[in-house]
Amino acid sequence: METQELHRGRLIDHLQLVVRDLDASRRFYQAVLDVLGVPIGGEGEDWFWADELFVSSTGSEAALGRPTGRHHLAFQARDRAAVEAFHRAALAAGGLDNGAPGERPYHPGYYAAFVLDPDGNNIEAVYHGPAERSADSVRVSFAD
């Protein structure tokens, strides 16, 4: 990773998905991350990353030659409109519908949409309702 600064403070340090078709996954994740306001942080010939998500091809050094299994990954959305935009963008970028935007029974105000990415991973965008954050993220800078 070419960065010397990260944003940390949440539960997950990183999640790696090893995919069969990196170009298809790059198009899919670029589209959904764009509508969620999360930039691609870096990329190379056989990988890319955004925030805590690292995606690589089966040929990458970190992949051990095989795709990861099916995962459920939920992205935080800032509001219901972002959940709806996520769903539209995901479908337009090759995702398959796995649950249209709507209220879910998990807790009051849980509004989410689900799509399957090009490798069959269940990708969700969720808005939990109005909330106040103490900070957007925690900045961690590494000394040279």
Alpha-carbon gap, residue 37 to 96, rounded angstroms: 21
The percentage of residues in the chain with a pLDDT greater than 90, rounded to a whole number, is 66
Cβ–Cβ under 8 Å, residues 115 and 87: yes
| Continuous H helices in the chain | 22-36, 80-92
- Name the 3-class secondary structure at 45: coil
Mean per-residue pLDDT of the chain: 88
pLDDT at 29: 98
Question: What is the value of pTM for the model shown?
Answer: 0.83
Residue 8 confidence (pLDDT) above 90? no
Is residue 3 over pLDDT 60? no
Please say if the pLDDT value at position 46 is more than 60: yes
What's the pLDDT at 1? 43
Q: Which residues contact 67 (CB under 8 A, 6 or more apart)?
A: 18, 19, 20, 58, 119
pLDDT score of 4: 56
Q: Output the DSSP codes for 51-75.
A: TTEEEEETTSTTTTTS-----EEEE
Residue 108 scores a pLDDT above 80:
yes
The C-alpha atoms of residue 140 and residue 143 are separated, in whole angstroms, by: 10
